[in-house]
A and B are shown apart, each in its own frame.
Chain A
Amino acid sequence: QQQVKQSPQSLIVQKGGISIINCAYENTAFDYFPWYQQFPGKGPALLIAIRPDVSEKKEGRFTISFNKSAKQFSLHIMDSQPGDSATYFCAASMRSGNTPLVFGKGTRLSVIA
């Protein structure tokens, strides 16, 4: 059973465009939703995260939109740059109980000039 579903699997965006990656979760107990960026051969790095008490969070060019009723959240990368080319993972967990993150399957983003 896949608890976090991520789409698309891959994405090609022109430089300066907007990259949008979507995730849906099943467990309503989840209350922490981070996005990680991973470059080849490296560990995932925390990009931005959101809690269900807000509908949007923005940090620089990165924005998370959260829809609690639909159990969906998405990552928007504004003004996408070639340096943003990486694999992006959404994840979810419960903040209480020190539980592990459950990851989506990842999205390979390629930003072309």
Chain B
Amino acid sequence: GAVVSQHPSRVICKSGTSVKIECRSLDFQATTMFWYRQFPKQSLMLMATSNEGSKATYEQGVEKDKFLINHASLTLSTLTVTSAHPEDSSFYICSARDRDRLGTGELFFGEGSRLTVL
């Protein structure tokens, strides 16, 4: 149980285009999903907290107009990198908590999406 699916796993795009990454909780419902970003050989850095039915909360230094987050349902959150540039190339990872097990603190991660902007 507790599977988080991310799609696509890899994407290559041209500079200036937009890319959408989907994050789905397959066997549980998540009122909150978290988006992290990871550069090579570095740790995971929280980008934003996505709440179902409301606006995402972005961490300091993360451009909300560049990284659009939509949490349309209890099982789906999307991250859209708008007008992508080479410096946006990174590994993007989503995570979610089972809303029926919030008190455990357990956080489940997707497999990540590798974005390469040419």
Chain A positions within 8 Å of B, measured between CB atoms, are: 31-32, 34, 36, 41-46, 49, 51, 89, 93-96, 98, 100-106, 108
Assembled-state Cα–Cα distance A108/B41 (Å): 9
- Taking a contact as CB atoms under 8 Å apart, the answer to whether B32 and A95 are in contact is no
Nearest A residue to B4 by beta-carbon distance?
A: A43
Chain B positions within 8 Å of A49 at CB level:
105-106
- Taking a contact as CB atoms under 8 Å apart, the answer to whether A95 and B44 are in contact is no
Chain A positions within 8 Å of B97 at CB level:
98
- Taking a contact as CB atoms under 8 Å apart, the answer to whether B106 and A106 are in contact is no
Chain B positions within 8 Å of A, measured between CB atoms, are: 4, 6, 31-32, 34, 41-44, 46, 49, 93, 95, 97, 102-112, 114
- Taking a contact as CB atoms under 8 Å apart, the answer to whether A95 and B110 are in contact is no
Nearest B residue to A87 by beta-carbon distance?
A: B41
Q: Nearest-CB distance from A27 to chain B (Å)?
A: 14
Chain B positions within 8 Å of A31 at CB level:
105
Chain A positions within 8 Å of B34 at CB level:
100-101
- Taking a contact as CB atoms under 8 Å apart, the answer to whether A105 and B32 are in contact is no
Chain A positions within 8 Å of B49 at CB level:
100
B6, B41, B95, B105: the one within 8 Å of A95 (CB): B105
- Taking a contact as CB atoms under 8 Å apart, the answer to whether B109 and A43 are in contact is yes
Query: Given contacts A41-B114, A46-B108, could you give 8 more A-B pairs where the C-beta distance is less than 8 Å?
Result: A34-B105, A34-B106, A36-B109, A45-B109, A46-B107, A46-B109, A49-B106, A105-B43
